């Protein structure tokens, strides 16, 4: 439990709801043509309801229409007829400027700009585009400069408060990786879905945050955050296990009702007890492996997954083992200073294979909504 919960600064980050361009598969960038869809409005209202117990002190949004519309729906649901704080906007929360791509379909960009598209996918920080004046720019590097400036002002002006930022997918990833001091090379290593909720905590005097929640979409009725179209590989579902009663994890049953789980790897007696409680609807789990061989078995699964739909692999293990998996897959030196695991959440790593880097899809999804300062390790 955080002993300084009252003085910590908590930053919630929400990506806007589904927009017209999201549905059409178009690059948005800083283009202000896309508007929120009705699906996006419903998701924004659900997000507001999810945040009612979060004691939000201020809401700051990107000035782009889809973000402002999302923030307005959130505020309406968040305060439910009571007096609400004014909505502020900050241009530094705008999406990455993709200049010549904005408004074009994903397929058209891939066809017309194959080299740039490849750079965007593999080394986005090296993507260079010409502006209307002919000047060369690096959009992702510019986005990170904005994020650093915003962070500096936020910590000086909103210290000790709980702040909600309503922004965009790329901007959210830049903010989160900047707040964690991970930098531009992690731009594509985390996911932020439409109306996915993330939360970071800054202790007094700290210049680096701790990530408490990433891309939780459970309030939208989704079993897990959606993968992008065409993504396959392995999805690791990491569930911390303790010697306490496994019934404490039964709220996770709903996450697996509509989700096929291909393998279950229980580690330690606590892992076996929790796995049995969560996956008891199976007559026997698809795969039972024990601590002495689970790491090798996991590596084999990651190497030999056949093409087709993603393979969902549940790992139910002590926190130290979960941290080791996160550290290895994400290339982090020390997850303890960056990621705070919740006793009752699921963390998800997507391993696409074919040489692509693993992506942290979610951290602590399905955490109990009233648990902000307790139950972390």
Residues 200-228 have pLDDT tens digits of 999 887 778 999 999 999 999 887 888 87
Between 122 and 260, residue with greater pLDDT? 122
Rounded CA gap, 195 and 320, in Å? 30
Q: What percent of the chain has pLDDT over 70?
A: 87
Average pLDDT estimate for 53-69 = 96
Between 175 and 86, residue with greater pLDDT? 175
Residues 254/255/260/264 CA torsion (nearest 10 deg): -110
The per-residue pLDDT for 342 is: 87
The per-residue pLDDT for 290 is: 45
The per-residue pLDDT for 4 is: 47
Are the beta carbons of 266 and 274 closer than 8 angstroms?
yes
3-state secondary structure of 198: strand
Question: H helices within 127-211, ranges in order?
Answer: 139-157, 169-179
Q: Is residue 371 predicted with pLDDT exceeding 90?
A: no
Rounded CA gap, 224 and 345, in Å? 12
Task: Provide the whole-model pTM.
Answer: 0.92
Catalytic residue among 6, 24, 76, 95: 95
Order of strands across the sheet with 346-351? 87-89, 58-61, 162-167, 9-15, 197-202, 210-216, 359-365, 346-351, 234-240, 311-317, 263-266
In the structure, what pLDDT confidence band is assigned to residue 1 with cuts at 50, 70 and 90? Answer: very low
Between 183 and 16, residue with greater pLDDT? 16
Burial of 87 (0-12, 13-18, 19+ CB in 10 A): middle
Catalytic residue among 16, 168, 188, 342: 16
Q: Is residue 283 predicted with pLDDT exceeding 80?
A: no
Please give the span between the terminal C-alpha atoms of the chain, in angstroms, as a whole number.
8
Q: CA nearest 107: which of 219, 218, 25? A: 25
- Torsion sign (Cα): 251, 253, 259, 264: positive
Average pLDDT estimate for 103-131 = 95
The per-residue pLDDT for 136 is: 76
Average pLDDT, the chain: 87
16 is catalytic: yes
Q: What percent of the chain has pLDDT over 90?
A: 60
Q: Is residue 74 predicted with pLDDT exceeding 60?
A: yes
Rg (CA), the chain: 20
* HSE of 326, CA atoms in CB hemisphere, 13 A: 29
């Amino acid at each position: 439990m955080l002993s300084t919960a009252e003085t910590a600064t908590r930053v919630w980050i929400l990506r806007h709801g589904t927009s017209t361009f999201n549905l059409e598969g178009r690059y948005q960038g800083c283009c202000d043509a896309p508007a929120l869809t009705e699906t996006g409005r419903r998701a924004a209202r659900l997000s507001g309801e999810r945040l009612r117990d979060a004691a939000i002190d201020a809401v700051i949004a990107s000035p782009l229409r889809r973000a402002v519309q999302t923030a307005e729906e959130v505020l309406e649901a968040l305060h439910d007829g009571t007096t609400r704080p004014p909505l502020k906007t900050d241009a530094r929360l705008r999406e990455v400027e993709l200049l010549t791509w904005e408004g074009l379909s994903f397929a058209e960009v891939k066809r017309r700009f194959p080299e740039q598209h490849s750079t965007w996918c593999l080394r986005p920080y090296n993507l260079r585009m010409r502006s209307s004046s002919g000047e060369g720019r690096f959009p992702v590097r510019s986005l990170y400069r904005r994020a650093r400036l915003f962070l500096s002002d936020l910590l000086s002006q909103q210290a000790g408060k709980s702040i909600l930022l309503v922004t965009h997918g790329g901007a959210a990833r830049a903010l989160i990786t900047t707040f964690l001091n991970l930098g531009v090379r992690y731009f594509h290593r985390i996911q932020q879905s439409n109306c996915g909720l993330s939360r970071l905590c800054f202790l007094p005097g700290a210049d680096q945050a701790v990530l408490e929640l990433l891309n939780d979409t459970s309030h939208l009725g989704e079993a897990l955050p959606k993968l992008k179209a065409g993504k396959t590989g392995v999805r690791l579902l990491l569930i911390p296990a303790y010697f306490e009663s496994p019934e404490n994890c039964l709220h996770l049953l709903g996450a697996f009702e509509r989700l096929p789980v291909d393998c279950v790897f229980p580690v330690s007696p606590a892992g076996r007890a929790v796995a049995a409680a969560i996956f008891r609807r199976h007559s026997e789990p698809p795969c039972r492996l024990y601590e002495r061989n689970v790491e090798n078995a996991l590596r084999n699964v990651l190497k030999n997954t056949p093409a087709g739909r993603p393979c969902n692999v549940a790992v139910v293990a002590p926190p130290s083992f979960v941290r080791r998996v996160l550290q290895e897959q994400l290339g982090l030196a020390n997850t303890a200073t960056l990621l705070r695991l919740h006793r009752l959440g699921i963390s998800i790593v997507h391993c696409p294979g074919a040489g692509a880097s693993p992506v942290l899809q979610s951290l602590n999804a399905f955490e109990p909504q009233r648990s902000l300062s307790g139950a972390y390790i």
